[in-house]
Amino acid sequence: MATLTTERKHVRRLRRMVAPARPPGVWMSLGNRIAIVFSAITLLAVGVLYLYVAPGLQTRLIDGKLASLGAVAERYSGPIAQTVGSTASRAAIQQMVDVASLRSGTRVLLLGVERASGERARFVKLADSSQPGSDAAVDYAASWQALRLGRRASGVDSTPSGILAEAAVPVRFFGHVARVIVYTSPTSDVVRSVATVRHEILVAGAIALALGLIGGYLTARWLQRRVGGLEQAAARVAAGDFSRPIPIDSRDELGQLAIAFNDMQRQLAQLETARKRFIATASHELRTPLFSLGGFVELLEDEDLDPQTRRRFLEQMSEQVERLRRLSIDLLDLSRLESGSLDLHPEPVDLSELARAVAAEFEPSLARHDSSLVLDLPDGLHALCEPVRVAQIVRALIDNALAHTAPGTNIFVSAQRHLATSRLTVADDGPGIDPEVLPRIFEPFFTADGSTGSGLGLAVAGELADRMDGSLKVFSVAGRTEFTLELPV
């Protein structure tokens, strides 16, 4: 009963682990967040235009108006300045002021400077293009600045009728400023223009905000559907379904992600197939020698066995033990290579001498196979590699040639120098490899002709060659198969 309760708890825990995640809240969904980001960017842009660009535009327009007013003052003040100290009548001076006003398109005033001992200087209006009959004192900020500095001055001044742009030109007489000519122009046109710009900014901002909300929401919904497709595909892959790839509907980042996901799904499907094939192959490869050993053990328990039969059984048991040993070594090497935990230490090695030593190990196998091994190995052919692993590769190639060719087939081992590499070739004059299966012969657990091998020897050999900065290539036609190992010098 306790065991059943424990299993039920374990099942409930697994269900909680694989239960689908709760959908995100309204404000946390991808569509809403993108729409909010679009809106915030639009509001920020409108705010910058309204609070920074528009005031700056008004300042620049007023500065431009002041510069234009100063140029006008310099251009039309000459005739008026020449009347200082002359016998020109007041009517003639007023006429000159009116002409300057008409030509410049501004209001022009001629101010006289009165100084009394111990008192502050004051201005007296001598002529005015707008109010010629008024003699009241006037007070303009630009005129005081021109009087104080003794040179042309400009600025803005607030009046009951609005903000005025002013330019004042001082006129000297015997070293002192005796007159000041003032040009004024209202800035109401600038204010109206800036107000219009601000209004247009607000209208355009409202339209942009609405378009940003709609466009952001639609874009987000489109992206959400595509991301949702990826999420569903990931859930299918997590459940072990590799049969439905994601449709590729674009070449953008999500399209590239879908391509990468499909590639990952294809590789996972291949790994799953390889895993199942490994389980089946390993089970078969391990079960056969184990059952065989068990049978031999039972037979050896028979006390009536003659010595010759007992010796034959022991030899067969030794072959099965060797088969198990090689299978376990291949599995361990492949696991270490795939995990990256196999350390290699390359060193200069005499490749010809190593190949001769390995070939000598196959004399009994060659005799049983009724085959001959032809060596063409020049002396002093060196390569940078790990000798133990190169010997393992050569053993795998010779063993593969013996396993997949008919008795009496000749096997050739040759070596040569090619550019900056040394090449070691194991060839046979067997029937060759089927072109359809040739690209797969370096896959783990793949056997081309249904042989009893584990399909690990060539896979491990290829991985070892790559780890030593070399390569293992195959060429096969009817009557000739060559495996070439290339290693750096």
Residue 474 bridge partners (DSSP): 483
335 has a pLDDT exceeding 70: no
**Strand ranges (DSSP E) for 259-400?**
347-350, 373-376, 382-385
User: Is residue 30 over pLDDT 70?
Assistant: no
Task: Please tell me which of 19-28, 270-279, 417-426 the model is most confident about, judged by mean pLDDT.
Answer: 417-426
Task: Answer whether 224's CB lies under 8 Å from 254's CB.
Answer: no
Judge whether 244 lies within some domain: no
Question: Which CATH number fits the domain that encloses residue 289?
Answer: 1.10.287.130
**Domain identity same for 166 and 272:** no
Instruction: Tell me the average pLDDT across 254-269.
Output: 79
Please indicate, yes or no, whether residues 328 and 450 belong to a single structural domain of this protein.
no
Q: Which domain holds residue 315?
A: 253-336
Among the candidates 131, 165, 186, a domain finishes at 186
For the chain, what is the domain count?
3
Contacts 24+ apart (CB under 8 A), 35-38: 35/213, 35/216, 35/217, 35/220, 36/216, 37/216, 38/212, 38/213, 38/215, 38/216, 38/219
pLDDT value at 8 more than 50: no
Does residue 207 lie within any of the structural domains? no
Q: pLDDT digits over 395-454, tens only?
A: 889 988 888 888 888 899 999 998 889 999 999 988 888 888 888 888 776 666 555 556
- Indicate if 357 and 481 belong to the same structural domain: yes
The verdict on 165 and 141 lying in the same domain is yes
Both 328 and 449 in a single domain?
no
Q: What is the mean pLDDT of residues 5-16?
A: 44
Residues 111 and 168 in one domain: yes
* Distances 349 to 423, 430, 458, 479, 484 between C-alpha atoms, Å: 13, 30, 22, 32, 17
Q: What percent of the chain has pLDDT over 90?
A: 13
Q: Are residues 372 and 426 in the same domain?
A: yes
> Does residue 104 have a pLDDT over 80?
yes
Q: Is position 395 within any domain?
A: yes
Residues 294 and 383 in one domain: no
Average pLDDT over residues 44-69: 82
Answer yes or no: is 445 within a domain. yes
Q: Is residue 67 in some structural domain?
A: no
| pLDDT exceeds 50 at position 71 | yes
What is the mean predicted confidence (pLDDT) over 252-264?
A: 79
The verdict on 306 and 407 lying in the same domain is: no
Same domain, 326 and 348: no
Domain harbouring 382, CATH code: 3.30.565.10
What phi and psi, each to the nearest 5 degrees, are found at residue 486? -105, 130
pLDDT at position 482 is 92
Residue 324 placed within a domain: yes
Q: Tell me the average pLDDT across 114-132.
A: 79
Residue 50 within any structural domain of the chain: no
Does residue 458 share a domain with residue 377? yes
Task: Note whether residue 194 is domain-resident.
Answer: no
CB 148 within 8 A of CB 122: no
- Boundary (domain end) residue, out of 336, 360, 380: 336
Is there a single domain that holds both residue 391 and residue 467?
yes
How far, in Å, CA of 484 to CA of 489, rounded? 15
- Of the two residues 24 and 95, the one the predictor is more confident about is 95
Residue 161: give its domain's CATH number: 3.30.450.40
479 vs 38, higher pLDDT: 479
Question: Residue 121: which pLDDT band, with cuts at 50, 70 and 90?
Answer: confident
| Domain boundary pick from 130, 161, 186 | 186
- 211 or 7, higher pLDDT: 211
What would the two tokens of residue 327 be? Answer: 């299978």
Reported pTM: 0.44
Cα(98)–Cα(100) distance, integer angstroms: 5
